[in-house]
Amino acid sequence: MIPVERIKLLNNKPVRAGKYVLYWMQAAQRAEYNHALEYAIEQGNELGKPVVVVFCLVESYPEANERHYYFMLGGLAEVRASLEAKGIRMVVLVGEPGTCVAEMAKDAALVVVDGGQLRIQRKWRRAVSKSIGCTLWEVETNLIVPVWEASAKEDFSAGTFRPRISRRLDGYLVPVRHRRPRTDSLGLRFDGLDVGDIDGVLSGLRVDRSVGRVAAFRGGAEQARRRLADFLREKLRDYDELRNDPNTGCVSGMSPYLHFGQISPLYIALEVRKRSGPGKDAYLEELIVRRELSHNFVYYNGDYDGFGCLPAWARRTLNFHRRDRRDYVYCCEAFEAGRTHDPYWNAAQKEMVVTGKMHGYMRMYWGKKILEWSRNPQAGFKIALYLNNKYELDGRDPNGFAGVAWCFGKHDRAWSERPVFGKIRYMNAAGLKRKFNPDDYVRRIEQLERSEQRR
């Protein structure tokens, strides 16, 4: 049984005598460790009906481009095959969920959807809840502890959030029992895209082509599990010591896969907990406390993508210093092209453009310097969010919104006052040099850039 704490009723409509139970897959794009899928199967078996999965490809998803769609489609092709092995038909349609799900739901007994905290995800769920004629259940499966169970309000730091979520962990760090439908749906016929032909599907979509696909990351649950296994075997033991050194590669690379729901955070946590050493605790802090704090942020703060999301003290100090003289001021185009005076910042920007992912420590430095070198803090906030969402595979994500906001004081405390930054935490190149050799980092990114140009 799926814990009732993971489940929310989104409307008051009846369960009908439909042909199937419909799982609207949106944020959890996987066939394993997916509580929403398991709940749909559970409901289908109780009603004696097959399960059908629908996925809506939204061409106008805010700030998404070819890079994001290509990675996502790689995962969807794998999901379809995995679902068919379970006897479940997957239908991929192009269009807004309010239209696509409503059409598929006409013959459904009930609909299940996975959880999502972003504004657009909640808007879609509200629209579907009103447009369909049957019950809609939301099942949280991309968080270890559902956001409403972890805390009843927005938490202002990891320090306040950590004890709240820690009290709930034992009840949620439980393996998922996988079921098969008693009745398969493979004989049912629907029109939809052949996601096995990724290039063909992508060429037919009207999406932003300004940012191309990357070679560094391939989408899909199999790739995610391989990366995780390599990280656990080779890197976890040193994670606490080496994670802030981008030259060691001592990171898991899970964030793009978590963003698209291609791997479960619960599965990762259970695998990490089997290990020992300081790296285990450090990684679980990032995966559980820090990641789920970011979901708390976007769920309870309606202005999560605006300057107004910052705590009052941060807004006050930044506005007080907004007219301070800046040694350098760059426009968005210069930042995007990596044309600043700082080779370390330029390398970080190029790493993101070339690979679709920036090392976490460098992303903090990157964001702090955008604050320092923009004409005012409000402009810097917009630039950082724009670049992060455009180029990062894990952009447009609670972690991304929280990470950018952190550079401007979110989830942090006041520090010593200084020009431009006010009381916001400061970072500089000398700090990088105390952590690692940033010149080696620059050389490595230059090699990556040359390799990409030859590809």
Mind listing the domains of the chain with CATH numbers? 1-142 (3.40.50.620), 143-179+219-300 (1.25.40.80), 307-449 (1.10.579.10)
pLDDT of residue 431: 96
pLDDT at residue 277 in the model: 87
Neighbour order of strands in the sheet with 135-139? 7-9, 135-139, 108-114, 20-24, 51-57, 89-94
Three-state DSSP state, 413: coil
Using DSSP bridges, classify how beta strands 108-114 and 20-24 pair: parallel, antiparallel or unpaired. Answer: parallel
CA distances from 102 to 17, 108, 113, 129 (A): 16, 10, 13, 9
Residue pair 244/286 in contact by the 8 Å Cβ criterion? no
The pLDDT assigned to 420 comes to 98
Query: Is the CA virtual torsion 428, 429, 434, 437 positive or negative?
Result: positive
Would you call 369 helix, strand, or coil by DSSP?
Answer: helix
Count of H-run helices and E-run strands, the chain = 22, 6
CA angle 139, 59, 111 (to 5 degrees): 25
The structure tokens listed for 392 are 């990062």
Rounded average pLDDT per 10-residue block, the chain, 455 residues? 93 97 98 98 98 97 97 97 98 96 97 98 97 98 98 97 97 96 97 95 96 95 98 97 97 98 98 94 98 98 98 98 98 98 98 97 98 98 98 97 98 98 98 97 95 77
Q: State the burial class of residue 16 (Cβ atoms within 10 Å of its Cβ: 0-12, 13-18, 19+).
A: middle
Indicate the pTM of the whole model: 0.97
Q: Give 21's contacts (C-beta < 8 A, 6+ positions apart).
A: 40, 41, 43, 44, 47, 49, 50, 51, 52, 108, 109, 110, 111, 112
Using the structure block, give the residue that is written with the tokens 């897959």. 25
Sign of the alpha-carbon torsion through 227, 197, 57, 55: negative
Rounded to 5°, angle at Cα 441 from 374 and 426? 35
